[in-house]
Structure 1
Amino acid sequence: MRLHTLTVTAFGPFAGTERVDFDALAASGLFLLRGATGAGKTSVLDAVCFALYGEVPGARTRSRLRSDHADPRVLTQVVLEVTLGGRRLEITRLPEQLRPKRRGEGFTPEKAQTLLREYTAGGWQPLSRSHQEAGEEIGRLLGMSRDQFCQVVLLPQGDFARFLRADAGERADLLGRLFDTGRFSRVEEWLAARRRTGEERLRSAQDELRHLVARLDQAAGPAAEPADGWIPAGDAAGDLARQAPAWAAILRSDAAEQLAVAGSALRIAEQAHHARQRQSSAAETLTDRQESHRRALVREAELAAQAPDREADRTRLASARAAAVVESALRLRRSAADAHDAALRRERDAREACGSDRDAPAPQLSGIEQRLRDDLVRLEAAGRAEQRLAGTAAELRRVEAEQRAAEELREEAERQLEALPAQEEQLNRQLSEARQGASRAEQLTTCHQDAEQRLSAARRRDELLVQAHRVEAEAGAHRETAAKARQTWLDLREQRLDGMAAELAGRLHRGDPCPVCGSAEHPAPAQPSGEPVTREVEQAAEAEFRRAETAHRNASERLAALRSEATAAGNTPTDSITAELAGLAAELTAALHAADGLVTAEQGLIRLARQREDHLEQQRTAGARAAVHSDRMESLVLEHDDLTAEVAQARGDAPSVAERAARFRTRIARLAAAATAAREAADAAARLDDARAEAAAAATAAGFATPEAASEAVLPASRQQAVEMRLAAWDSERAAVRTLLDDPVIALAAAQPPADPATAAADLAAATARLRTTAAAEDAARHRLAELRSLGGRLTAHSAALAPALAEHARISRLSQLAAGTSSENRLRMRLESYVLAARLEQVAAAASSRLVRMSGGRYTLVHSDSKVSGNKRAGLSLHVVDAWTGTERDTTTLSGGESFFASLALALGLADVVTDEAGGMPLDTLFIDEGFGTLDEQALEEVLDVLDGLRERDRAVGIVSHVADLRQRIPAQLLVHKTPRGSTLRLSGPDSA
Structure 2
Amino acid sequence: MRPEKLTISAFGPYADKTEIDFSKLGEGGLYLITGDTGAGKTTIFDAITFALYGRASGEVRESAMFRSKYAKDFTETFVELVFSYQGKTYHVRRSPEYMAPKKRGTGQTLRKAEAQLIYPDERQPVTKAKDVTAAVEQLLGLSYDQFTQIAMIAQGDFQKLLLAGTLQRGEIFRQIFHTGLYQQLQIKLRDAAISRYKEYDEMRRSIAQYLDGVKFQPDAGMEEEEFSRLKKAKFEGKLERSLELLKLFIDRGELREKELQKQEKELEEKLRTMETMLNLSAQKRSLEEKRALALEQLEKILSELAKASEEAEKYKDADKRCEELGLLIREKQEKLKKYQDLEQLQEERREIERQLGNCQTQKEKIIRQEEQQQKEMEQLKTEREQLGNSELDLQKALTEKEKQTRRKRELNGLIAEIRRFRGLYDETKEQQKKYQSAYRDAQQQREYYQQIFHIFLDAQAGLLARELKDEMPCPVCGSLSHPHPRMLSEEQTVDQKTLDNEKSRLDKMEKDSVDQSLQAGSLKEQSNASWRQIVASAEELLEEFQEFHKKNKNGNGQAEDFLTVWKQLTSMVNRAQEQCEDLLTESEKEIRKAQENTKRKKTVENAMERLEKEKEELQEKKNFFDREQAGLSMKASENQKQQQNAAEEIRQIRLETEKDKSCKADSTKSEALKAGKEDLEKEIREKQQEYGELKENSKKVKETLQRFQSEKERIASSIETFEAQKKEIGEIPEAEIREQHAQTAARKADLTEKRKELFSVQSGNQDIFQKVQKGREEMTTAEKEYAWIRNLSDTANGKLNGKAKIELETYIQMAYFDRILRRANLRLMTMSSGQYELKRQEQSKNQKEKAGLDLNVIDHYNGTERSVKTLSGGESFQASLSLALGLSDEIQASAGGIRLDSMFVDEGFGSLDEESLEQALKALNSLADGRRLVGIISHVSELKERIDNKIIVTKQCGGEGVGSSIRIQ
TM over 0.5: no
TM-score category by the smaller chain? 0.3 to 0.5
TM-score, reference length from structure 2:
0.40
TM-score, reference length from structure 1:
0.39
